[in-house]
Structure 1
Amino acid sequence: DDQMIGTNLKSMVECPENWHIVGADVDSQEQWIAAMLGDCCVRKAGCKSDNSDLHSVIAKEVGISRDKAK
């Protein structure tokens, strides 16, 4: 969608000679970054089966379902 902010940004990024740009398609990247900057133990040790994963913790804190938190 060309109307989304940043959709053309990738094509504008350049790097110095002999350097390479590496990309990744990361699910939940915003939450992953927030977890790494905040309470990284939730991200590292959390488990979906016992509701201690990041999505479950956030859902419980704000009173919504895990699916909505995703």
Structure 2
Amino acid sequence: MALSKSILKNNLLAIFQKMTTNDNQQNSVETLAEELSGVIFDFVKTAEVVAGQSVSTTGTAAAQTGKTTTNGTII
């Protein structure tokens, strides 16, 4: 699944709306941080990296190791 800015926005709005009814001032900041970190963590986990990055090897093709030579693309 590609990253969806609108899903993130809707999840953040839900958190902010929930916080407007939070009467416990003492735990408000911690509650907000917990909620935000969960939504952002879940959002980032939906990222996909496009496969098929180019790799160059030297020598024979047998048993080569290395890193990709191009940057991955997050979609």
Range into which the TM-score falls when normalised by the shorter chain = under 0.3
Higher relative contact order structure (alpha carbons within 8 Å, sequence separation ≥ 6): 2
Q: TM-score, normalised by structure 2?
A: 0.25
TM-score, normalized by length of structure 1? Answer: 0.26
Answer with 1 or 2: which has the greater Rg.
2
